[in-house]
Amino acid sequence: MGATNIKQFKLICLLNVIYKIIMKVLTMRLTLVAHKVIGANQSSFLPGRHILDGVVVLHETLHELRRQKEGIVLKLDFEKSWLVGVSDGGP
């Protein structure tokens, strides 16, 4: 505020450097244990897994159910059930 000399200005790109370094270190350390913590059925946000893997599995399942002319598909919305638990004072 009120800087009159060039030395009084700070580079905006350097203001959050410490946070970027901390996040990079945490990311590198969590990557080592991510495969142990995250289940095999989770299909994204890990190296070697793709976000569309779940869509491909669903498509193949629906195709097989249509071919057999029997079966049932149940879709659950876990986000809404989680939000209800939070608003009720649950976990």
9-43: pLDDT as tens digits: 777 766 678 888 999 999 899 888 887 888 877 77
- State residue 26's pLDDT score: 92
> What pLDDT digit, counting tens, does each position of 42-66 carry?
777 777 778 788 888 888 988 988 8
> Are residues 34 and 42 in contact, defined by beta-carbon separation less than 8 angstroms?
no
> Are residues 44 and 50 in contact, defined by beta-carbon separation less than 8 angstroms?
yes
Q: Which residues contact 44 (CB under 8 A, 6 or more apart)?
A: 50, 51, 53, 54
Q: Which one has a higher pLDDT value, 80 or 51?
A: 51
Tell whether the torsion through CA atoms of 55, 60, 63 and 64 is positive or negative. negative
Q: Which one has a higher pLDDT value, 33 or 89?
A: 33
> Are residues 53 and 44 in contact, defined by beta-carbon separation less than 8 angstroms?
yes
- State residue 18's pLDDT score: 85
Alpha-carbon span 90 to 83, nearest angstrom: 9
